[in-house]
Amino acid sequence: MSNTWSLSDLLANLHTDIERRLEAIRATMGHPISKGDASEGVWLELFERYLPKRYEAIKATVVDSQGTFSQQIDIVIRDKQYSPFIFNYEGQLVVPAESVYAVFEAKQSIDAEQVRYAKEKAASVRALHRTSLPIPHAGGVYSPKPLSPILAGIVTFQSEWNPALGDPLRTALTTDDETQVLQLGCVAAHGTFGIDGNGSYTFTDGRKPATAFLFDLIARLQARATVPMIDVAAYAAWLT
């Protein structure tokens, strides 16, 4: 018996675990809501286990300091290190818009309707107002940090299209509305998609999609600055 570690096997097994769990949910759970909740749980657990601890993955609604709320989002990746608060009301989580790095919809399968739905969810978050205060430091004050774009995407088990990743998906993803852009996604049984620096979508078949998607997400998060310094007083103004 060999005691040699294999990085290739480790990465492959990470994907295989996700794909098998999503497949089992689809095959064994009869109620659509139960399927949806279980699928979300698989992706949330993946992110919580493997994303750097400065991030937190939760199901939540997003609110801004002007009192506007987003639609409920299946997966919100938020700042866990610097954001000062999160509301928990009867098990329903609400997070400030300034804390959000990325949002995803988690579905059993991907089709034009689910892509449209994910776009609308993303737009409801990106439309929110985000504050950014000057940052005090030992030598003075830094200017307010520019706001980084919020990432958005969709994660599923399989595709309703044949081929699974092709022109129908590209057509569904294409939009002139920047608030609805989905930068990346995973179809665990088939592959991944992502938008490049030129604004073009690339599709990758196979290659252990869940693992490849996780790495792509981490790389995109690394390229973004830390969330801005939130204006807590703007939220406190609602204490009337």
Residues designated catalytic: 74, 105, 107
Q: What is the largest CA-CA distance in the chain?
A: 69
Tell me the residue ranges of DSSP E strands in the chain. Answer: 55-63, 73-79, 87-89, 92-96, 100-110, 135-137, 140-142, 151-159, 184-187, 191-195, 201-205
Contacts made by residues 143-150, CB under 8 angstroms, sequence distance 24+: 144/228, 144/229, 145/225, 145/226, 145/228, 145/229, 146/225, 147/228, 148/101, 148/224, 148/225, 148/227, 149/224, 150/100, 150/101, 150/102, 150/103, 150/122, 150/125, 150/126
